[in-house]
Amino acid sequence: MTRSARFLKRSVALGAIALAALSLQPGAASAATEPAPSGGTPGTRVVGGVPAAQGEFPFMVRLSMGCGGALYRQDIVLTAAHCVSGSGNNTSITATAGVVDLQSSGAIKVKSTKVLQAPGYDGNGKDWALIKLARPINLPTLRTTTDGRYDQGDFTVAGWGATREGGGQQRYLRKATVPFVDTPTCQQAYGSTYIPGEEICAGIMSTGGVDTCQGDSGGPMFRKDDAGAWVQVGITSWGEGCARPGKPGVYTRVSAFSQDIAEAADQL
């Protein structure tokens, strides 16, 4: 059985994007319309997460096909390969940046010009892609790890994805902390479907309850480096359901592809 037949990719089906867009309209009855974080008590939370503050993660990007991403360079977004349909010229994607509230008048919106999907991507592993933007976005970028030194510990994930398995997309950016899950434990959870050299797992094995979910695909998993700066270690990829006990989230291991990503960015 292929991975796509058994496990839910954490992107959003096209039909769900239309429903999500409707839910983001003013006055719509949806968990997506919880009040903006301003010191009050938040409403529905993203699979154990909380609202992110404006400017907390300036590198975060929302992509119009229903995925997340991060500014790799000011004119290039790093996302998941399964979020795009292939490589080549592509002007159909809109990147939204600079805000936690997708309805904010301050949102920066830039169209894509090209897409590069990871060479050799076949739905299993190698789940990374780059999107070239029509113009640079003047915001901080997210540095990617170049080795495995930061591939453990507690990680931060963020996105506009569902607050629960099967839920709708969100208006406000949310964040959560997920602990590293070692390779033997992840292999026990997913068997041969998990690719240790290319993927990294994170989540609370015993209880679940904290995880990325549908619509968070392509978004970064990151942590502080030794100097206290954010560094990206993962790309939200897949998992069995969302926040289930014993079923951690699976992320593209950025350290395994950092050189390939850098070389691809130079050619994009």
For residue range 242-265, what is the model confidence (pLDDT) as tens digits?
999 999 999 999 999 999 999 999
146 vs 31 pLDDT, higher one:
146
Residue spans of the domains in the chain: they are: 52-266
Q: What does pLDDT average to over the chain?
A: 86
Return the pLDDT at 12: 62
Q: Any idea which fold 52-266 has?
A: Thrombin, subunit H (2.40.10)
Task: Quote the pTM value.
Answer: 0.87
Catalytic residues: 82, 127, 217
Asked which of 30-39, 114-123, 188-197 is least confident by mean pLDDT, the reply is: 30-39
Q: What is the 3-state secondary structure (H, E, C) of the chain?
A: CCHHHHCEECCCCHHHHHHHHHHCCCCCCCHHHCCCCCCCCCCCCCCCCEECCCCCCCCEEEECCCEEEEEEECCEEEECHHHCCCCEECCCCEEEECCCECCCCCCEEEEEEEEEECCCCCCCCCCCEEEEECCCCCCCCCEECCCHHHCCCEEEEEECCCCCCCCCCCCECEEEEEEEECHHHHHHHHHHHCCCCCEEEECCCCCCCCCCCCCCCCCEEEEECCCCCEEEEEEEEEECCCCCCCCCEEEEEHHHHHHHHHHHHHHC
Residues in the chain: 268
pLDDT by residue (tens digit) across 49-91? 899 999 999 999 999 999 999 999 999 999 999 999 999 999 9
Integer Cα distance of 26 and 204 in angstroms: 35
The answer to whether residues 69 and 95 touch, using CB atoms and an 8 Å cutoff, is: yes
Query: Residue 123's pLDDT band (boundaries 50, 70, 90)?
Result: very high
| pLDDT tens digits along 35-47 | 333 333 222 334 8
More confident position, 5 or 153: 153
